[in-house]
Amino acid sequence: MLRNATTQYPILLVHGLFGFDRIGNVELFHDVKQALRTAGARVFIPQLSATHCNEARGEQLLAQIDRVLEGTGVDQVNLIGHSQGALATRYAAAVEPEIIASVTSVSGPNHGSELADFLRKALTPGRLPEHVASTVATLFANFLSLLSGQPDLPQNAIAALNALTTEGVGAFNDKYPQGLPKTWGGKGREVVNGVRYYSWSGTLQGGLVDQGLDALDPLHGFLQAFSHYFTTEAEQNDGLVGRYSSHLGKVIRSDYPLDHLDSLSQTAGPLRKGIDPIDLYVQHAERLRKAGL
């Protein structure tokens, strides 16, 4: 079936923590980007710091949005942010809503991550474990930036961790509440300051048969292990972000059978209950097109 995702405004796919555009032949959003372009969308991948606070990454995003606007001649863009990328897109829309047509959060920690809370408590501020973890994470982020051709991007692993905790995101939300639900687990306003807000996410579900090839994926195994550190959203998380913590604006669905990385790119998704993670992005682009965006 011929798909039509020819949106009025370009789509920017915004990566989260430890994300990148391209390293060698590896592109983080490769499958998503190709599917969207095949369906007619104009797609760009901004490169943000792999580790930093939400505001710093949001400012980097705004600078790259300006370049997209100048290069394409349009006056707005559609932002789709995965994980911490969702917080950068929210910042951009709150600060300069006139250039943002829509914000879509995909597995975004819009109320913080319980895993980040656990790590923050485990890494006592100012003590050696925090220093070692910060140094290792920052060196890794700098290495990613170098390989991706963006060596000048600043990195700050502890700022990123603090920005993803429940407390850190709570402070962020106090300043930038656009699209947030008024009640836990609810939906937020779909349009704020002319910007449309959407979200979707998944949860870890089922046994080995339901998980398909994901059961053999070591990254999926790590996410399964991480999920045990959740208490408020125990059994209602994707390994890194809780289901209800992800809610923003119009909640398309928050319980797809997808782990945190499945929602970024296609792995074994089609083998589990017929969900194709890549097609979710194409469906959403079609949704944006029908909304005149």
Residue tagged active-site, from 260, 262, 263, 284: 260
% of the chain surpassing 70 pLDDT = 77
pLDDT of residue 274: 66
Mode of pairing for the β-strands spanning 191-192 and 250-256: unpaired
Q: Is 273 left (phi over 0), alpha (psi -120 to 50) or beta?
A: left
Structural domains in the chain, CATH included, are 11-290 (3.40.50.1820)
Can 15 be counted among the known catalytic residues? no
Residue tagged active-site, from 15, 49, 82, 83: 83
- Buried b / exposed e along 151-186 (16+ C-beta atoms within 10 A): eebebbbbbbbbbbbbebbeebbeebebbbbeeeee
- Over the stretch 214-252, which tens digit does the pLDDT of each residue have? 555 667 777 887 778 788 888 898 888 999 999 999 999
Can 83 be counted among the known catalytic residues? yes
Tell me the backbone φ, ψ of residue 111, rounded to 5 degrees: -130, 20
pLDDT of residue 133: 44
Band the pLDDT of 271: cuts 50, 70, 90: very low
Residue 217 in tokens: 């994926």
Residue tagged active-site, from 214, 217, 238, 259: 238
- In sequence order, what are the beta bridge partners of 102? 78, 196
pLDDT of residue 126 exceeding 90, the answer is: no
Band the pLDDT of 115: cuts 50, 70, 90: confident
**Mean pLDDT computed over 8-23:** 78
Q: What is the pTM of this model?
A: 0.86
Measured distance CA(124)–CA(132) in Å, rounded: 11
- Over the stretch 21-53, which tens digit does the pLDDT of each residue have? 444 445 668 889 999 999 999 999 998 988 889
pLDDT of residue 146 exceeding 80, the answer is: no
Which are the contacts of 273, defined by CB distance < 8 A and separation ≥ 6?
210, 257
